[in-house]
Amino acid sequence: MANPEGYRDGDAWLAEYGPLSLTQGLTLGRRVIEALSVAHAAGVVHLDLKPANLLLKSEGDGIAVKVIDLGRSRAAGTGDYAPPEQRGEVQYGEAGPRSDLYGFGATWYRLLTGRHPSNRRDKYLPQGSSAALFELIQDLMEHDPQDRPEGAEAVLARVEALAGLVSVGAVSPPRPAPVDVMCSRLPPAPSTVAVPGLPDIHGWSSGKVQALQRAAAEALGLDVIFRDPLREPVRIPHADGLLTRFMERGATVVAEGPEMVVIPAGSFLMGASEGEVKLEEKNLMPLRERPQHHVTISRPFAIGRYTVTFDDYDAFCAATGREKPAFQSLRARGRFPAVRVSWNHALAYCRWLSEQTGHPYRLPTADCRLPTEAEWEYACRAGTATAFHFGATLTTDQANYDGNFPYGEGAKGINRNTLVQVGSFPANPWSLHEMHSNVAERCRDDLRVYSAESVVDPVGPESIDADNAIRGGYFYGGAIEARSARRDHASTAG
C-alpha cells in the first residue's frame, strides 16, 4: 500500500535526509508515545515498532508522524528493535505494553543518530541533547521489562519535560534557588509567539502532572522537594521576657533556606470560567478574571512549598539587622506565615536568599524573586481546571477560610477566625500547601488587563510606589476569595 502523499517511512527518511534534528526528534518522540498511550489504554499493543513502521513528513521546521501497522504486527518483532521477551527469552514472560517501550527506544535512537541501537553512545545524539535524553533511551531499552518505565504515560511526561527544556535553549538549565517564590532569569516582555514542544496541562490528572514534575526535577538534577544550604548559618536568639518562660533559653540556628518545589514548564488556561463569574454576578471582582486565555510558562522554576514563615523571615532579619515584623499573638511566629511584610522587604528577603545560596548561574540575570501572577496561578492549579485545585467546591477541612460563606454547591463549615501553621491542610498535586486562603501571597507584578490572546511569560505592571497583586485569599474571607483565579491587589507598603 502506498504511503500518504509527502510521507516517507523512517528508513527512507534516513536514506534521504539523514538523522532527525533534536527538535524533530523530540516532536517524533511525543507523537509516537502519545499514540502508544492511547493504544495501550484500549488494550492494543504494536509489538513491531521500527523505523519502517513510522511515516514521517517535514512540516516547516517540524515533522509530522504517523504510526502504522498498529495492532496488526507479528509477535516476534524485528531484529534488534524487538525486546528480549520477543526474542525467545521466556523468563521475561509474554510480550506486552513494555515491549513497545523497548521498540520505541530503539527506533528513536536510530532516527536521532542514524546508528544501530545495539551499540548506543550518548555522543552520537544531536547537538544540544541533555543527559536526560540518553538516560530515557537507556531506560526504555532495559533488558528486563520490569526495569523499563511503568507505562507510556510516564514516558510521555519525561519526553514533554525534555521538550520544555530544549524549547528555551537551555542545555544546562540554571539551578532554581530558594525563596517563597522562585529563581529564574528575569522574564522577558510577554510574547504571543507559541513555544513549541511544551505540554498544555490544563485538565490533566494529578498522576500525569506529577510525572511531568518528576521528569523536570530529574532533568534539572534536583529532588522534587529540596532545600539549599545558606552560606552563613543564622543564629536567632530566643526572645527575652515572657517567652523565655515557655521555651529553653538559647538560640535557634537556621542553616538552610525554605523548602522549594520544582515546577515544570508548560501552558494552561488562566482566569475564571464563565460559570465562576455567573455564581457571583453582583461582585465586580470576577470581571478582572476574564477572559480565560492560554498562558505558557516557558521554563521550569522552583517555588516555596509553603508561604514564607516567621522562622524563615526572622532568620533574614537576624542576619541583616532588620527589625522583625510585629504580630499581635506572641505564639504565632515559628511555622506561622510571616505577615505584615511590605513588598520592598519581601524583595530584600529574596535578594538575601539569592546571595546566601550562591549558586553558579549560567545566566547573569538569574535571581530569586517573587512569582508573577501567571506563575502563581499555574503553580496553584497544577493542571486542574476547576475553581479550586481540590475541585469545584472547597471545604474547611481543605483550607482555612470563613466557612459561613461557601462557594457554589459547597456546604457551610467552621470559621477558625485565625491563622494556622503552614502545612496544616492537604497539598495540591505539586506538593504546594495552603494555596487557598489562610493568608494572601504577594506577587512580583500588579494586575494586568486580561485579553483572549495567548501569551508567554506575561508580567503585569511593576512599580515600587503602586499596588502589587496578591493571590490566595484570607482566613477571614469566604471561599469565593480563595479560588485559583481570584485576583486582588494591595499596597506595597504592607
For the sheet containing 266-270, what is the strand order?
266-270, 293-297, 455-456
54-75 per-residue burial string, b: 16 or more CB within 10 A, e: under 16:
bbbbeeeeebebbbbebeebee
Q: Do residue 248 and residue 299 come from a single domain?
A: yes
CB 195 within 8 A of CB 298: yes
Tens digits of pLDDT across the chain (494 residues): 456 678 899 999 999 999 998 888 988 998 899 888 878 877 788 899 999 999 999 876 678 888 887 655 555 678 889 999 998 888 999 889 999 999 999 999 999 999 999 889 999 998 878 788 999 999 999 999 999 998 888 888 888 777 654 432 222 222 332 223 333 323 333 444 444 568 999 999 999 999 999 988 888 788 899 888 888 888 877 654 433 333 444 567 888 888 989 999 999 999 998 878 655 544 445 558 889 999 999 888 888 899 988 888 889 999 998 888 766 444 557 888 888 787 778 878 888 888 887 643 222 234 567 888 999 999 999 999 999 999 999 999 999 999 999 998 999 999 998 889 999 999 999 999 999 999 888 888 888 888 999 999 998 876 555 667 889 988 988 999 999 999 887 766 55
- Per-residue pLDDT, 165: 44
Q: For residue 263, which amino acid is it? A: I
Q: Which of 144, 167, 190 is the last residue of a domain?
A: 167
What is residue 38's predicted lDDT score, i.e. its pLDDT? Answer: 77
Does 150 share its domain with 219?
Answer: no
The secondary structure of residue 143, as a DSSP letter, is S
Please check whether residues 365 and 390 belong to one and the same domain.
yes
- 29 and 97, same domain (yes or no): yes
Say whether both 125 and 234 belong to one domain: no
* 33 plus 131 within the same structural domain: yes
Return the C-alpha cell found at 5: 502523499
Query: What is the distance in angstroms between the CA of the first residue and the CA of the last residue of the chain?
Result: 71
Distance CA 475, CA 416 (A): 8
What angle in degrees, to the nearest 10, is found between the helix axes of 22-41 and 152-167? 160
Q: Is omega for the bond preceding 291 within 30 degrees of 0, making it cis? A: yes
Q: Contact at 8 Å (CB) between 228 and 257?
A: yes
Question: Is the CB of residue 83 less than 8 Å from the CB of residue 95?
Answer: yes
Residue among 109, 35, 46 at smallest CA distance from 75: 46
DSSP code per residue over 1-64:
-PPPTT-EEHHHHHHHH-SPPHHHHHHHHHHHHHHHHHHHHTT---S--SGGGEEEEEETTEEE
Are 135 and 255 members of one domain?
no
Find the domain containing 413 and state its range: 182-491
The C-alpha cell that represents 103 in the structure block: 521498540
Position 330 in a domain: yes
Tell me the DSSP string of 276-305: HHHTTTT-SGGGGG-S-EEEEE-S-EEEES
pLDDT computed for residue 380 by the predictor: 97
User: CB-based contacts of 385: which residues, under 8 Å, 6+ apart?
Assistant: 202, 203, 269
Task: Kindly state whether residue 177 falls inside one of the protein's structural domains.
Answer: no
Give me the number of domains the chain comprises.
Answer: 2
Residues 235, 376: one domain?
A: yes
Q: Residue 38: inside a domain, yes or no?
A: yes
Which of 470, 473, 472, 464 lies closest to 488 in space, CA to CA? Answer: 470
Residue 175 lies in a domain: no
